[in-house]
Structures are given as C-alpha cells and as structure tokens.
Chains A and B, each alone.
Chain A
Amino acid sequence: MTLFYLFGAVAVIASLLVIAQRNPIYSVLLLIASFGALSGLYVLLQAPFVAVTQIIVYAGAIMVLFLFVVMLLNAPHEETEHDEKIHPLRRPGPMRFGAVLAAVLLVELLWALTRAGSEGTAFPGADVISVRAIGKALFTDYAFPFEVTSLLIIVAMVGAVVLAKRDTRRGGAPAPPTP
C-alpha cells in the first residue's frame, strides 16, 4: 500500500508540474516521470506486460518524438505575462475552447470517480498477466476496436503528411531532391 501511495503521489505531482512549467523541455521530462510512476502502478496491479509496454511506447517512443520536436523548434520559454490578467474564459478563441474542454474533463473525472466506488475497481487478475491472453483478446474480442484505432492513427499520419507537404503546383518552391 505504501508503494501505491508513493507511485500515485509521484504520478499526480509530476502531472501537475507538467502544466506548471514554462519550459517545454521540463514539461516533457515531468510527463516521462509521470508515465514511469503509472508503470509502477501497473506492476503493483500484477500486470508487468502493461507496465513495460507503457514505458516502451509512451515514455520511450512517443516522448522521444516530443522531445525531438521541442528541441528542433528550440521552443523558447512560454510568454504568458501579457495576458495573465485576463480571465481564461475571456481570452481569444483557442484558449476559450481549451478552458471549456478543461471544465468538461473536470466534470467527467468527478463523475467517473464518484461512480467507481460502487462498482469495484479490481482487475480480473489472470487476464492481464499473460501476454498470450492479451494477444488473444486483442485479435478476437477486441479485433474491431483494435483495427479502428489503427485506422485513426493512419488518418492522423495522412493528415500530417498533407499539412507538411509543400504545394508545388502553385508557384511554391519544389521539394529538394532526396538522395
């Protein structure tokens, strides 16, 4: 139980600090710390495979990409002083939208947390432990959601390529030849 509170506290505090940082690099690192603590929680839940996958996929692969982008853009410290006095709901479009989303998320979280107590939160032990069981479940019972998720990722990738591709027809400079 001590370990649970330790990992839980690290996860919560690190996640809070992620949004309290001005420097994006520190945000990325704190998010990694938070993922590490989550992975510790998975180990406590007898799910070593999920724990290791969490580290490989999120902390390892995705956050390296995040860090790569932050470093590549060399993003400076956020400059928020000029609009700090305005109330979040009165800021321009995107910010207002973000504030509304945050409020919705808060309500959802509260709703989920108050419901969870009545239903019990224990994992169905053996099913999450064995890699074989996870694989079987993914390709039989959850085959459709699994494939749809991969389709979503493909859509996101195609979107990114379309956005990044330079339009050569309307006078834009042609893309440099790739050796």
Chain B
Amino acid sequence: MPAITPLLVAQVVIIVVVFHALLLSAAAMVWVERRLAAALQQRSGPTRVGWQGLLQPFADVIKLMFKEELRPKAADALLFGLAPIISAMCAFSAFAVVPFGGSTTFFGLLSEPMKLQVADVNVAVLVIFAIASMGVYGIVLAGWSSNSKYSLLGGLRSSAQMISYELSYGMALASVLLLGNSLSLTEVVNGQAGYWFHVIPKWFIFVQPVGFLIFMTAGVAETNRAPFDFPEAEQELVAGYHTEYSSMSFAMFFLAEYINMVTVSAVATDLFLGGWYGPFLPASLGWIWFLIKVGALLFFYVWMRWTLPRYRYDQLMAFGWKILLPVAVVNLLATAAGVLYFGV
C-alpha cells in the first residue's frame, strides 16, 4: 500500500473528475445536438424538461434504464454482451492520456506542481491511436454477433471505413509530431506557447492548416459521425450495428460515440489549437481555454452533421484512398522537408 500523500489524493480526484466530466459532456452533447439541430431546422427541440430542456438527457437515461434488455435468439450471447462494453471502455480510456491544462499546485495545496492529466505517458499520441483502433472492435462485434443482416452490414462498413481513414489520421498526427518534436501531448502543447509578431498565437493550425483539415475529416470518419455515419446509416441499414440493441447496452454505444467526439476534439485542441494556451487568462486557469476550444470544435461537429448530407459509400472509399491519403502523404513529406530546412 502506498502512503496517502496529497499528490495521490490529487491524482484520484483528477481521475474521478475526468470520468464524470466525460459522462456529463456526453449528456450535454445530447442536449446541444438536439437543440442545435432544431435551431438549424427552425424547430425548437426539447424545451419541457427543466430550464430550456436541460434535463432532457437525464430523462432519456432514466427512460433507457427502465426499458427491457432485448437479445435476439440467434445472437451470439457472449459477444453480444461484450460489444457495448468494449465500445464504452475504449471511449473512456482514450481520454486518460489527454492533458487538459498546464502544471498546477492547486493553489499551493501541493508541494510540487502536477500535470492536469490522468496518466502522463511519453508515447501519449500513439496510445490514443491504439485505443481508437481497439474501439472499432466494439462496433464490428456488435454487427456480427447480432446475427442480423443490417447489423452485419453496419459492422463491415465500420471496419472498412476505419482501415481507410486510420492511415490519413496517422499521417496527419505524424506531421504535427514532427513540428512538436515529441510523442508526448504535453510537449506538443508546450511547443505552441507564445506568439508570432506579438499577435498571432503559435498554434500548429497556422503551420499545418492542411494537417488540421485532414485530422478533422479523418476524425469525423473515425467517430462515425455524419457525413460519414455509414455504420448506422438509418435510411439504408435501419440503425446499422446497433439495430438489435436496446436499453442500456444501446445507451453504451450512444455514450461511446459522444465521448469519442469529445476525445477527438480534445486531441485536436492539444495538437493544433494550442491546448490550454490563450490570451487574457492567467496560466493557472488555462483549462478554461481548453474547454472553450473543445466546445468550439464540438459545435462544429454538430453543425456539420446537420448541414452536410451523407456521402454515398463508394464516394467515401474513393475520397479516403484517392484524395485524403495522397494529400496526407504529401503534407507529411512537405512538413518533414520544412522541418529539415528551417529547423523546428
């Protein structure tokens, strides 16, 4: 048993806070998504439960809890139960290595500053990538184990889509890592401190605009969001991989999707938008900037879903392999050449 030190307590507090913040962010995203969608379509959306409908997500959760847990007779019982757990677990654990603020002593409570991060891993970027590649198994297994043709098609599409877009995603990541000169997210964020000409913040998005676009496009595809939501395309596949799921196991897929969105936005913030660096606020309140930037990206996510129609499946594949990947490769090569020529 390690001794109970203030540092240990602070670590546990951070873990608990991050876990609940993720849960709450998913609930908040459900509300934002519904209200924003309504606003974009000139409706009002949910307004009855709580002020402005803010308690609607909680009402939904209670409704889901009391629903019957159904399982098709022909389903593979073990994998059918395991699939939503894999999805939710991967979604939660990916955020563990994402830093969301600079070092702090919590107003002098700790003797030495600690990082605002659950686990400081020196290959953080790769860990996120690895966990994201595990998350796809939740969807694929859900599709297969349901023993229904719609689910199977959804699972197949999901795996094909993941394979196609993971490459571009990795290339975009790699070009930022070249600039940050490290695999640790904290180091990459610290490389973006300061300003050019006292005005423009040194965010990597200004050096890597193409990389940012590739990262976000591939990120949308990885999280199965519109206009790339093929695994669940409701007009073609009923509900895709989670057609046969109900009650809380459906809720877990739902939760995983929203948390993955939050994680992709948080990683993009750390990699391209300067993380917790921003003007006006003191360094100890940097996490507020982080939240603002993540919120902006999440808004963009929802905005995009209700603006762009879904692509056709072959368009998705052609776009991923024939446009996005070559652009990502050229971008990576150009970045490498630039880093060699100008230095970091």
Chain A contact residues, CB within 8 Å of chain B: 25, 29, 32, 48-49, 52-53, 55-56, 59-61, 64-65, 67-68, 71-72, 131, 178-179
Contact = CB atoms under 8 A, between A and B. Distances in A.
Interface string B104-124: 000000000000000001110
Contact of B134 (A59, A67, A72, A179): A59
B136 interface: yes
Contacts of B133: 55-56, 59-61, 64
Nearest to B177: A131
Interface in B97-153: 121-123, 126-127, 129-130, 133-134, 136-137, 140-141, 143-144, 152
B162 to A, nearest CB: 6
28 contacts: A29-B137, A32-B137, A48-B121, A48-B123, A49-B126, A52-B126, A52-B127, A56-B129, A59-B130, A59-B133, A60-B130, A60-B133, A60-B134, A60-B136, A64-B136, A64-B137, A64-B140, A64-B163, A67-B140, A67-B144, A68-B159, A71-B144, A71-B152, A71-B156, A72-B156, A178-B314, A179-B315, A179-B318
Contacts of B144: 25, 67, 71
A72 to B, nearest CB: 6
A2 to B, nearest CB: 16
Given A25-B79, A49-B123, A67 B130 contact: no
A135 B294 CA distance: 33
A56 B314 contact: no
Interface string B41-83: 0000000000000000000000000000000000010010000
Nearest to B140: A67
Nearest to A74: B152
Nearest to B156: A71
Contacts of A25: 76, 79, 144
Contacts of B152: 71
Interface string B286-321: 000000000000000000000000000011001000
Contacts of B257: none
Contacts of A48: 121-123
Interface of B: 76, 79, 121-123, 126-127, 129-130, 133-134, 136-137, 140-141, 143-144, 152, 155-156, 159-160, 162-163, 166, 183, 314-315, 318
A60 B94 CA distance: 14
A160 B92 CA distance: 38
Contacts of A67: 137, 140, 144, 159
Main secondary structure on A side of the interface with B = helix
Nearest to A68: B159
Contacts of B318: 179
Given A52-B126, A60-B134, 6 more contacts: A29-B141, A32-B137, A56-B126, A56-B129, A59-B134, A68-B156
Contacts of A68: 140, 156, 159-160, 163
Nearest to A49: B123
B142 to A, nearest CB: 12
Contact of B159 (A32, A49, A55, A64): A64
A56 to B, nearest CB: 5
Contact of A61 (B141, B163, B183): B163
Contact of B162 (A32, A64, A131): A64
A67 B140 CA distance: 8
Contacts of A59: 130, 133-134
A113 to B, nearest CB: 30
Nearest to A64: B159
A61 B167 CA distance: 10
B314 A52 contact: no
Q: Which of A64, A65, A67, A72 neighbours the largest number of chain B CB atoms within 10 Å of its CB? A: A64
B126 A53 contact: yes
Contacts of A52: 123, 126-127, 129-130
Given A52-B123, A52-B126, A178-B314, A131 B159 contact: no
A179 B318 CA distance: 9
Contacts of B134: 55, 59-60
Contacts of B122: 48
Contact of B166 (A49, A53, A61, A72): A61
Given A55-B134, A56-B130, A67-B140, A131 B183 contact: yes
Contacts of B163: 61, 64-65, 68
Contacts of A179: 314-315, 318
Contacts of B156: 68, 71-72
A56 B134 CA distance: 8
A76 B231 CA distance: 24
A32 B134 CA distance: 10
Contacts of B162: 64
